[in-house]
Amino acid sequence: MNKSKGGIYKSFLKRPMDIILSFIAIIVFSPVMLVVAILIRIKLGGPVLFKQKRLGLNEKVFIMYKFRTMTDERDGNGELLPDSVRLTTFGRFLRSTSLDELPELLNIIKGDMSIVGPRPLLVQYLPLYNEYQMRRHEVKPGLSGLAQVSGRNAISWEDKFNLDVTYVDNVNFIKDWKIILSTIKKVFVREGINSETAATMEPFRGNRGLEEK
């Protein structure tokens, strides 16, 4: 298995850059985060934050924070209704502007995540990965990544994994800043928020039909 690259930047500079940028972002966006939190409380009720277990560096499980975008509506059997039903107009706005992602800055401060890296995925996906796809966990997951600036939820799972591993093999300062600047641009353009078949992104169901690497 190839090991991820990055040299001095990955080993010594990437983490300090994450901390500095995250603190700056929290200070700059704190008024926005306060307003969003109040509106979520009014429109969706509590809790304001959505917390979920995700996979991080070396498959370590951590709790990821996001602003809540869905209601807790359930059917007669107590099961949650589909995302497309529970995702409100306000929730769609938060997702399309990426405002729902702002609490992840706390994950970056804590060291669970990085500014740039493969997006952290659900814990239940872990047994479904092949060896090639597992390589996405050789680096910390990111607030944004190469897959996000290359299509986000509008591209296939296979393309996402290929882009994630491409990033793992090419971690460097210039590439990270290109991804950061591309992310800012795409937030304003609001591209690739949803897949063609789901309100957000269809779940990963394993490698049936995907070419093994």
The residue type at 48: V
Let me know: does 190 contact 152? Beta carbons within 8 Å: no
Backbone angles phi, psi at 140, to 5 degrees: -65, 145
Question: What's the pLDDT score for residue 118?
Answer: 97
Question: Which residues of the chain register pLDDT less than 50?
Answer: 1-4, 195-198, 209, 211-213
Question: What's the pLDDT score for residue 5?
Answer: 55
Question: What's the pLDDT score for residue 190?
Answer: 64
| Tokens read off for 88 | 């409100």
Question: What's the pLDDT score for residue 177?
Answer: 97
Rounded to two decimals, the pTM is 0.86
Q: What is the per-residue burial (b if ≥16 Cβ within 10 Å, else e) of 52-78?
A: eebbbbeeeebebbbbbbbbeeeeeee
Question: What's the pLDDT score for residue 155?
Answer: 87
